[in-house]
Structure 1
Amino acid sequence: MAHIDYYFSTLSPFAYLAGSGLEEIAARHGAGVTYKPLDIMALFARTGGTSPAERHPSRNAYRAQELPRQAKKRGLPLTLKPAHWPTNPAPSSYAIIAAQNAGGGDVGALVQSVLRACWAEEHDIAEDAVVRDCLQQAGFDPALADTGLLSGAETYAANLEEAVNAGVFGAPFYVVDSGQSFWGQDRLEDLDLHLAGKL
């Protein structure tokens, strides 16, 4: 059975635009998924990327066109300039890590709920109440938002190191145990074809 390490940031609009695509592909091919939230700004610094605030105006102008196009293409609501972005991604990331360790709910749904809260619902995903609500929506104990903070922080940092070592430089990034990597929500079709043995 194939396995996918999914590296992403809870601040990434492109991770939001992936929707449930990864989960649908994994289910179709019987693939396992490990969710690895990470500090995207630290990843950029380590791998030659730049934050949106530091990018050339032309790049940001293109991003402002591309995000709404991709959202429309995927039928997802999108707020191009969310009220609470950027914000601290650590609380939501720690909660995802704790939920994955605890089990009992749907981690993919949790990730999508957090991203939707930021990019479509104008919520601050650094707030405990928002994180608890996302946990509950995905079938997890909301108290996970308050537990495992130390281990969450350790895993969050470890995810960054693993990402750099695996050749990850952006989000969303999918690394298959076959050795193939796929960057961006617009490469989900290629991931699907690869798992089907066609690519």
Structure 2
Amino acid sequence: MAHIDYYFATISPYTYLAGTRLEEVAAKHGATITYKPLDIMGLFARTGGTPPKDRHPNRQEWRLQEMTRQAKKLGLALNIKPAHWPTNMAPSAYAIIAAQDAGGGDLGQLVHGLTSACWAGEKDIAQDDVIKDCLSAAGFDPSLADSGLLQGAETYARNLEDAVAAGAFGAPFYITDADQRFWGQDRIDDLDAHLAGKL
């Protein structure tokens, strides 16, 4: 059975644009997923990336155009300048880590719910009530937002180290157990083809 390590950031627009397509591909091929939310700014700093606000204006302008095009192509609502971005990623990441440990809900829906709250819902995903609403909507106990904070912090930090060691440098980033690496929501079709033995 194939396995995918999924590195992502809850404030990443491209993680939002991925929707739940990774989960659909994994289900199609009987693959398992380990969700590894991380500090994307920390990953940029460690792997030669540049935060969006520090990029050349040409790159910033292209990024906004590309996000708009991709959202239209995927039929997803998107505010390219959301009211609560950037925000503290850690609380939402801790909730995902706690939910993965607890089980019983839909992790793909939780990640999409949180990213959607940021990029389409104009909500601050660092806020406890927003996180609890997303946990509930994905079938998890909302009290998970209040538990396991120390373990969440440790796992969150370890996910960054794991990402660097595994060769990731952006989000979303998918790495298979065969060490095939796919960067970006626009490479999910390539991941699908790889798992099918075509790539």
TM-score, structure 1 normalization: 1.00
Distance 1:193 1:128 in 2: 39
Q: Secondary structure at the match of 1:105?
A: coil
Task: Name the counterpart of 2:93.
Answer: 93
Give yes or no for the alignment of 1:193 onto 2:189: no
Q: Secondary structure at the match of 1:121?
A: coil
Task: Name the counterpart of 1:6.
Answer: 6
Give yes or no for the alignment of 1:124 onto 2:137: no
Distance 1:44 1:65 in 2: 21
Give yes or no for the alignment of 1:72 onto 2:72: yes
Identity of aligned residues (%): 71
User: What amino acid is the match of 2:15?
Assistant: A
How far 1:185 moved relative to its partner? Answer: 0.3
Q: Secondary structure at the match of 1:33?
A: strand
Distance 2:129 2:14 in 1: 24
Distance 1:64 1:114 in 2: 20
Misfit runs of 4+, over 3 Å: none
Q: 1:123-182 CA deviation, whole Å, 9 max, x = no partner?
A: 000000000000000000000000000000000000000000000000000000011000
Q: 1:14-62 CA deviation, whole Å, 9 max, x = no partner?
A: 0100011100000000000000000000000000001001000000000
Q: Secondary structure at the match of 2:182?
A: strand
User: How many residues are matched?
Assistant: 199
Q: 1:56-79 CA deviation, whole Å, 9 max, x = no partner?
A: 000000011000100000010001
Give yes or no for the alignment of 1:140 onto 2:140: yes
Q: Secondary structure at the match of 2:35?
A: strand
Distance 1:105 1:112 in 2: 13
> Where do residues 1-199 of structure 1 align in structure 2 (5 Å cutoff)?
1-199=1-199
Distance 1:31 1:95 in 2: 23
**Pairwise CA RMSD:** 0.3
TM-score, structure 2 normalization: 1.00
Q: Secondary structure at the match of 1:34?
A: strand
Runs of 5+ in structure 1 lacking a partner?
Answer: none
User: What amino acid is the match of 2:176?
Assistant: V
Runs of 5+ in structure 2 lacking a partner?
Answer: none
User: What amino acid is the match of 2:146?
Assistant: D
User: What amino acid is the match of 2:128?
Assistant: D
User: What amino acid is the match of 2:68?
Assistant: P
Distance 2:31 2:103 in 1: 17
Distance 1:192 1:103 in 2: 25
Q: Secondary structure at the match of 1:5?
A: strand
Distance 2:143 2:154 in 1: 19
